[in-house]
Structure 1
Amino acid sequence: MDFLQWQKDFKTIAEYHGIFSHDVREKMQQIRKVVKGVAPEAKEVISYQIPAFKIGKKYLIYYSAYTKHISLSSPWSEAFRKKFASELKGLTVTKSAIQLPNKDELPLDLIKRIVAFRKWEIDQEQ
């Protein structure tokens, strides 16, 4: 599905979700629900052809689905990397993405804390 997602001009998160299998769609919907629970004021948008959430002009978090994983993306700060270092061990993590394998259950509590930390960072910048 990786290639197909770049072949469409998505207008909504629902449209993006719609190209994936039921299982992957359900996982993305869980992420969406967590974000809305932590940051109900966040606006849903499509950016770089993937789902994202904004608070004001700042991007809270992005997510995207691939054949073997779902990525949570943001330009992770040094403070973020330090705070979550031990919990992210064993996952593929870059400066801007965390890969959550599709074969595993989503770590919803961790995702909730990640979103809350990003929200806190945005609040500190305003």
Structure 2
Amino acid sequence: MTAPTSVEEYLAALPAAAQAVLLEVRAAVLRGMPGATETIRYGMPAAMLGDRYGLHFAAWKSHAALYPVPVFDGDLEAEVAPLRSGKDAVHLRYARPVPADLVERIAAAVAARRVP
């Protein structure tokens, strides 16, 4: 299998259930990062803020993931913490509804940190 060259190609290669979840994740990331562009970095979709990356999102066997997600302050971190896996990854299990509002707020918080 060759590496995808576009986000659409990446999504099209996913199983239906993973594709549906990642489409929701993608939409929430882009709502949280208005004006972001998309590309493939490290073999996965990434939302770019100018020439800087914002968030990567990917599909795995049992979950979708966001990378890198910094540690936030206060209430946002309290919501994100149970979804963390490792230092800077957030895992969204396919068996659970996508917390689209939370993904959007994560993306907005990451975008706020990436502003020069």
Query: TM-score, with normalisation over the residues of structure 1?
Result: 0.82
- Higher relative contact order, chain-length normalized (CA < 8 Å, sep 6+): 2
Provide Cα deviations, 1:52-98, integer angstroms capped at 9, x if missing partner: 01111211100111111111111x334x2x34332134324222211
Distance 2:15 2:23 in 1: 12
Which one of 31, 38, 44 corresponds to residue 44 of structure 1?
38
Residue type of the alignment partner of 1:111:
V
Q: Give the match for residue 66 of structure 2.
A: 72
Which one of 30, 45, 57 corresponds to residue 24 of structure 2?
30
Distance 2:84 2:27 in 1: 23
Say if 2:94 is the partner of 1:98: no
Greater radius of gyration (CA):
1
Distance 2:57 2:15 in 1: 16
Aligned CA distance change for structure 1 residues 39 and 77 (closer, same or farther; 3 Å): closer
Which one of 88, 96, 105 corresponds to residue 113 of structure 1?
105
| Alignment: residue pair count | 115
Q: Which runs of 4+ in 1 moved over 4 A?
A: none
Q: Which runs of 5+ in 2 are unaligned?
A: none
Residue type of the alignment partner of 2:50:
G
Aligned CA distance change for structure 1 residues 119 and 89 (closer, same or farther; 3 Å): closer
Say if 2:78 is the partner of 1:86: yes
Distance 1:25 1:99 in 2: 15
Distance 1:99 1:77 in 2: 14
After superposition, the CA RMSD in angstroms is 1.6
Q: Which runs of 5+ in 1 are unaligned?
A: 1-6
